[in-house]
Structure formats: structure tokens, C-alpha cells
Amino acid sequence: MLPDRLRRRVRALGDATASFALDGPRIDADVLATIASGVRDAERLRFAYRAKDDAESRRHVEPAAVVHTGYRWYLAAWDLDRDDWRTFRVDRIGGRVMPAGRGRRREVPGGDPAAYVRRAIQAQDAAPVRGRVRVRAPVDLIARRVPRRYATVEPDGAEACLVTTTSGWSTEFVVWMATLDADVEVLEPPELVERTRAVAARLVAAA
């Protein structure tokens, strides 16, 4: 027999979880239960996260599902700061997961959490699609402001340079480039060009 509070949390974990298989290492049960409760109750979550390249960040999400792949646990969620879907390895979540108020109930694209996470993992394991922009500023100026772990900077004439991500592109990359106080031209990939246009349109509409 379990106390009502604990029984509710265990039930939430079962209701929110999808899987490929049933083997693999265990994760902190309290972290999993908090995430699962967020899925069940449509509650936003905040947590610290360490990415594949060891970059650390704070995340604010609306969780959609917990998935066990047979080896690791994943959270599929809508990232509120990045305005896009993200998949998080639960073992890379640091410290406590904090409830952050009511959110929207989310369903992963395609409706099948296990299939969605499988596709996301396969995409992450593939060769990264790097983003590239042309910045109209001298290479020495931009190189001082762009850490080498995130992007390379090479000259493109005397008054411009090319900035290329060291890993896959993201919307944050373009936003970051836009803060350099120089004209920026997004070159590739086409998906990044389209995402930039969409972000720019939202910013214009908000002004």
C-alpha cells in the first residue's frame, strides 16, 4: 500500500511513459515522477541541462511525454524559450526539476512519443547540419566575440567574415549573430534561412 501522494506520482509515471523496450539503467525516480506529473497535469517545468557538447543551460518547457528507449530515458517537450520541440536525455538534467505553473497540454508531432524520440535520436546521431552566416564586419572583430567551441570564423574579404557552427544549426545561432551589431546574411542550410524569416516576421509583428 502506498500513500496517496506517492501512489499518484507513480501512476503519473506509468501514464506518461512510452518505450521501445523495457531494459536499461535506472534514473532518479523523483526526477522521473516530477516530469511525468508535469506531463499529466500540463504543468511547465524548469531545469538545468547539459547538452551533448557539454554546454549548460536553463530550460523552461511544456512536457509532452517521457520515453524509455531500452537504454535511456528521454523527455519530449516544447521548449518555451526556443519556440520549438526538443528532446532531452533525462540523465543530463542536473539537480531538481521545478514545476513552473500551468501550461498547455502538448502532443508530439505525429502523435507517437516513442516514434518521435526514435527519429530525434537518429537525427542527432547523423552528421550535424551546420549553420553558416556572412557577417559584414572584419574577421578580427567577430573572432573576439565568438567562442571557438561554438563556431568558426574565417575572412570573406576585408570587411566581412563567414561564421559556421561547429555542430548543428539552431535558431539561437541566428539570434546570437544578430546581437553582434553588424549586418548578417544567413547562407545555409535552407531550413535555417526559412526559420530566420519566420522569427524576423514575428519580431516585426511585435514591434
Residues 79-102, mean pLDDT to the nearest whole number: 92
Q: Say if CB 183 and CB 157 are below 8 A apart.
A: no
Instruction: Name which residue leads in pLDDT, 58 or 70.
Output: 58
Map residue 64 onto helix, strand or coil. Answer: strand
Please report, rounded to a whole number, the percentage of residues in the chain having pLDDT higher than 70. Answer: 86
Residue 48 pLDDT class (50, 70, 90 cuts): very high
The pTM score is 0.54
Segment 173-179 mean pLDDT: 89
Distance CA 116, CA 110 (A): 7
pLDDT, mean over the chain: 84
Residues belonging to the chain: 207
Does residue 94 register a pLDDT over 80?
Answer: yes
On whether the CB atoms of residues 170 and 132 are closer than 8 A, the answer is no
pLDDT at 177 over 80: yes
**Closest residue by Cα to residue 106 from 78, 75, 74, 68:** 78
Where in the chain do CATH 3.30.70 domains reside? 130-206
In this prediction, residue 134 carries a pLDDT of 96
Query: Predicted confidence band at 22 (pLDDT cuts at 50, 70, 90)?
Result: very low
pLDDT tens readout for residues 113-163: 999 998 888 877 666 788 999 999 999 999 999 988 889 999 999 899 999
Task: Grade residue 99 by pLDDT with cuts at 50, 70 and 90.
Answer: very high
**Which string of DSSP letters, residue by residue, matches 169-197?**
--HHHHHHHHTTSS-EEEEE-HHHHHHHH
Q: Using one digit for the tens of pLDDT, what is the confidence trace for 103-124?
A: 999 999 999 999 999 888 887 7
pLDDT of residue 18: 44
Place of cell 564586419: 137
- Which CATH class for the 130-206 domain? alpha beta
H helical segments located in the chain = 4-16, 29-41, 113-125, 139-143, 171-178, 190-206
Beta bridge partners of 155: 161
User: At residue 16, does pLDDT exceed 50?
Assistant: no
Residue 31 vs residue 13, higher pLDDT: 31
pLDDT at 9: 52
